Amino acid sequence: MAHILIVEARFYDHLNDLLLAGARAAIEAAGHSHETLTVPGALEVPGAIALADESGDYDAFVALGVVIRGETYHFEIVCNESARGIMDLTLSGLAIGNGILTVENEAQALARAEKEQLDKGGGAAAAALAMLDLRTRFVS
């Protein structure tokens, strides 16, 4: 049984609740345990994963959050840099599923977060578990 850390950037509570429900359901359905860590925003997610990995307590990670385009260039920075940080950690060998939604509006976020629709929280958890399987196959 693997122990998974869900790291969520809790900015839009109602949307994050949907993503979390999907991730937790997918992890539990696969027979694994999980914990949740909340950080201020999407930019903090990769750093929190890197710090948590140093503990050795977690086998894989799920990154969750919602970034909705605003009126400034900040959207691009948050989206690009959080994704880059997660990809850097993945390339260093961590098993991470990226469920940080980067959308134009709340309707797009709802469609992606709701379990009955695209269930991106569950999808991110499934991706983390798939990467854990690959790491176990190739590294162990």
As annotated, the active-site residues are 74
* 66 in a known ligand binding site: yes
- 68 labelled as ligand-binding? yes
Q: Has 23 been labeled as part of a binding site?
A: no
d(CA 75, CA 34): 30
Q: Is 63 annotated as a binding residue?
A: no
103 is in an annotated binding site: no
Does residue 42 have a known ligand-binding role? yes
Q: Is 67 annotated as a binding residue?
A: yes
CA dihedral 30, 31, 33, 38 (to 10 degrees): 20
DSSP letters, 8-65, are EE-SSHHHHHHHHHHHHHHHHHTT-EEEEEEESSGGGHHHHHHHHHHHT--SEEEEEE
Annotated binding site for (2S)-2-hydroxy-3-oxobutyl phosphate: 71-72, 112
Annotated binding site: 11, 42-44, 66-68, 71-72, 98, 112
Annotated binding site for 5-amino-6-(D-ribitylamino)uracil: 11, 42-44, 66-68, 98
